[in-house]
């Protein structure tokens, strides 16, 4: 039996633009961010794009380190309470590194963290797109479980990346590197996923809307995120998702995520909003944002979100939502190229109510079925592109091997022996590079096929459910969760 109570939850979210050696004025911005958090009383501070410093040291908040992607050094002089996670179990137990660089996600919690895990997306961009850096970061979704007065809160955090590329456009010179001293007092268990800086889920950077080669990857990541939330939230009373999704509100990935999970947008639901026009989280007033970053949206774009929902007899609402407007909360230089989101949520006990249908009209015209079909089609286009690359690199490998065989024959003779030897090394290099690209796109095709198979199955189940009655698939999932929890009790 759940207690009858009302709970206030203050949440802070910001993409910090904290890439060492590349981001401008990094040390100063992180210090001012820490000073601001010290003055406020947020229950959760969710940060994206928090990078390691070159020395291997990380910024700290009140004695809790902000990084620690390396295993802790055990020595008699070391105080285990200085680690980023509660001393038991050890921070790295059961957690994996995310990519080569790390996805840059971080969470500070005012409340003890009960569970912590992460899931790396199966599709994470292209390794040969080095200037984008998405593949090297290893974008992921993280999960943070909190117990608040008997209420189970699942917090998911993510970062999809920069609109024009976190590692390419808009970085400029004069970047501030070094070990910024970011401190936040009186905050117990800071949780940072190794290499990923915690439970924020990271989707793909949207580098060009006109020629978007990452669209299929972002849709696949959005579906993977929705599935991860569904499968890990069966025991949760409240679900909270924050982060830089790099998707506009009406983009396919965003609609897919909301329709399937039932998450609500704090900007659309809040009773009191204060901030940028239309809730934009990248605005031209910000001195770190160029018109090139905004592309065809000169007024601004909204790609950072606070999403939430309550289940199992609880009700959640957003009383206030505030964003910065091109400067820090005190009116000074911006804390980042993104605007910060500050939400005040209220959770209260509510008698279980029948789940209203999320759709109206025939199944073929329902929003859920439509968005599932649209996602399935988009992943099909991505699959075609991946198959083309697989076929092309397969031909390159075959021709390269034939050419190497020809060089062996020529080297065995006397006429063109020197030329054959000179061409041998670049030919081997070409075959190896083509082989690596072939293997990558072969894996990509399998990932697309897997996601399309899941979507096709759920599309069929959605049609069946809507033809049988008003209960939609998300409602069916929610009902099943309620039955599972009742059986456990």
Catalytic residue among 83, 338, 441, 477: 338
For range 83-109, the mean pLDDT: 50
Q: Is 271 exposed, middle or buried (0-12, 13-18, 19+ CB in 10 A)?
A: exposed
**pTM for the model:** 0.78
Instruction: Measure the CA–CA gap between 151 and 92, rounded to whole angstroms.
Output: 27
Lowest mean pLDDT among 133-142, 157-166, 256-265, 331-340: 157-166
Joined together, the tokens standing for residue 120 give 């790396």
Confidence category of residue 100, pLDDT binned at 50, 70, 90: low
pLDDT above 50: residue 72 = no
Position 294 scores a pLDDT of 84
Query: How many distinct helices (H) and strands (E) make up the chain?
Result: 9, 15
Largest CA distance in the chain: 91
DSSP lists the bridge partners of residue 115 as 145
Query: At 97, is the pLDDT very low, low, confident or very high (cuts 50, 70, 90)?
Result: very low
Query: Is the per-residue pLDDT at 247 higher than 80?
Result: yes
Query: Half-sphere exposure (CA, 13 Å, Cβ side) for 411?
Result: 11
CB distance 54 to 325 below 8 Å:
no
Question: Distance between CA atoms of 142 and 156, rounded to whole angstroms?
Answer: 6
> How many residues in total does the chain contain?
489
For residue 231, indicate whether it is catalytic. no
Q: Report pLDDT for 125.
A: 81
Angstrom distance (rounded) from CA 133 to CA 433: 19
- Residue 305: helix, strand or coil by DSSP? strand
CA distance 146 to 92: 19
pLDDT at 453 over 60: yes
Query: If you ran DSSP here, which 8-state letter would residue 251 be given?
Result: S
Q: Which DSSP string corresponds to 75-94?
A: -TT--GGGSSS-SSS-TTTT
List, for residues 455-470, the tens digit of each pLDDT value: 999 988 887 876 755 4
Least confident of 150-164, 242-256, 435-449: 150-164
Give the mean pLDDT of the chain.
75
Q: How confident is the model at residue 277 (pLDDT cuts 50, 70, 90)?
A: confident
What is the band of 410 on the pLDDT scale with cuts at 50, 70, 90? confident
Give the DSSP H or E segment for 182. none
Per-residue model confidence (pLDDT) at position 167: 30
Across 389-407, average pLDDT? 94
Which residues are registered as beta bridge partners of 12?
A: 45, 342
d(Cα 190, Cα 322) in Å, to the nearest integer?
A: 24
> What distance in Å separates the CA atoms of residue 93 and residue 84, rounded to the nearest whole number?
13
The answer to whether 6 touches 347, Cβ cutoff 8 Å, is: yes
**Nearest of 487, 119, 137, 149 to residue 347 by alpha carbon:** 149
The predicted structure's pLDDT at residue 422: 84
For the ranges 86-100, 191-205, 352-366, 387-401, the one whose mean pLDDT is highest:
387-401
197 closest CA partner among 37, 30, 52, 94: 52
């Amino acid at each position: 039996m759940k207690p009858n109570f009302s709970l206030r939850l203050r949440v802070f979210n910001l993409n910090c633009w904290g890439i060492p050696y590349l981001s401008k004025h990094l040390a100063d911005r992180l210090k001012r961010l820490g000073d601001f958090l010290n003055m406020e009383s947020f229950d959760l501070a969710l940060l994206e794009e928090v990078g390691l410093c070159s020395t291997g040291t990380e910024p700290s908040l009140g004695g809790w380190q902000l990084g620690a992607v390396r295993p802790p050094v055990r020595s008699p002089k070391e105080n285990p309470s200085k680690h980023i996670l509660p001393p038991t179990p050890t921070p790295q137990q059961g957690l994996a590194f995310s990519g080569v660089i790390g996805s840059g996600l971080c969470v500070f919690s005012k409340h003890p963290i009960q569970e912590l895990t992460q899931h790396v997306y199966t599709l994470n961009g292209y390794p040969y797109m080095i200037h984008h850096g998405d593949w090297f970061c290893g974008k992921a979704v993280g999960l943070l479980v909190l117990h608040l007065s008997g209420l189970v809160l699942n917090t998911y955090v993510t970062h999809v990346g920069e609109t024009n590329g976190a590692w390419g456009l808009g970085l400029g010179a004069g970047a501030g590197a070094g070990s910024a001293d970011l401190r936040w007092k009186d905050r117990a268990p800071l949780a940072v996923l190794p290499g990923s800086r915690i439970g924020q889920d990271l989707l793909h950077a949207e580098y060009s809307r006109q020629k978007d080669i990452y669209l299929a990857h972002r849709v696949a990541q959005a579906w993977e995120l929705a599935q991860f939330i569904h499968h890990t939230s069966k025991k949760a009373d409240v679900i909270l998702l924050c982060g830089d999704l790099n998707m506009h509100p009406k983009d396919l990935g965003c609609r897919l995520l909301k329709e399937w999970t039932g998450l609500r947008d704090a900007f659309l639901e809040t009773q009191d909003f204060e901030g940028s026009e239309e809730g934009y989280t990248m605005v031209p007033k910000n001195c770190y944002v160029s018109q090139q970053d905004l592309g065809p949206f000169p007024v601004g774009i909204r790609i950072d979100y606070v999403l939430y929902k309550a289940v199992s007899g609880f009700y959640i609402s957003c009383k206030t939502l505030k964003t910065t407007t091109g400067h820090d909360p005190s009116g000074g230089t911006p804390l980042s190229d993104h605007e910060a989101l500050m939400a005040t949520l209220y959770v209260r006990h509510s008698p279980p109510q029948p789940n209203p249908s999320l759709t109206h009209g025939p199944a073929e015209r329902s929003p859920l079925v439509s968005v599932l079909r649209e996602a399935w089609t988009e992943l099909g286009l991505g699959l075609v592109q991946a198959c083309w690359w697989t076929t092309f690199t397969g031909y390159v490998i075959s021709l390269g091997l034939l050419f190497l065989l020809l060089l062996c024959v020529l080297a065995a003779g006397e006429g063109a022996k020197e030329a054959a030897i000179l061409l041998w090394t670049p030919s081997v290099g070409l075959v190896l590079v083509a082989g690596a690209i072939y293997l990558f796109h072969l894996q990509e095709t399998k990932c697309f096929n897997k996601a399309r198979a899941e979507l096709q199955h759920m599309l069929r189940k959605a049609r069946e459910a809507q033809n049988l009655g008003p209960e939609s698939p998300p409602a069916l999932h929610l009902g099943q969760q309620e039955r599972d929890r009742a059986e456990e009790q």
